[in-house]
Homo-oligomer: A and B are copies of this chain.
């Protein structure tokens, strides 16, 4: 998997959070090891299926960061990771993947997006089951960590 494939997802994440929630994330060092796993409190996951490629993407937030994003979007900080925060994470997941889908289609890589799934649970871990490359990208800001993971089965 080359940078052409990963950058549209990164661009989508940075753009969505800055536009929707005035939140600037700083990308950390990408990890490629199969043993590395993303850990967090609320995650959005989505599957991708194209004629030549299958894969999955996840975005995982610390609780503090998810609550801050929600606060900046709706003006009030939720007390905990409730259904509205889950819906927001699902929507952000859809937007990041939709952004990448458009960018990659312009370069000849076509795929369809499944519907997003949101997982909530203190310090859960996510393991994408693919034979191909897995890229985990950490993102930092004062309010907490996010992890973007992109995997394709080729």
Contacts and interface: CB of A to CB of B under 8 A. Distances in A.
Contact of A127 (B46, B90, B91, B122): B90
A48 interface: yes
Given A121-B124, A124-B119, A124-B124, A49 B129 contact: no
Given A46-B47, A121-B121, A124-B119, A114 B83 contact: no
- Number of copies of this kind of chain in the complex: 2
Main secondary structure of the interface of A (DSSP, over half): strand
Given A49-B49, A83-B127, A90-B127, A115 B43 contact: no
Interface of A: 35, 43, 45-49, 54-56, 58, 83, 86-87, 90-91, 93-94, 111-130, 151, 153
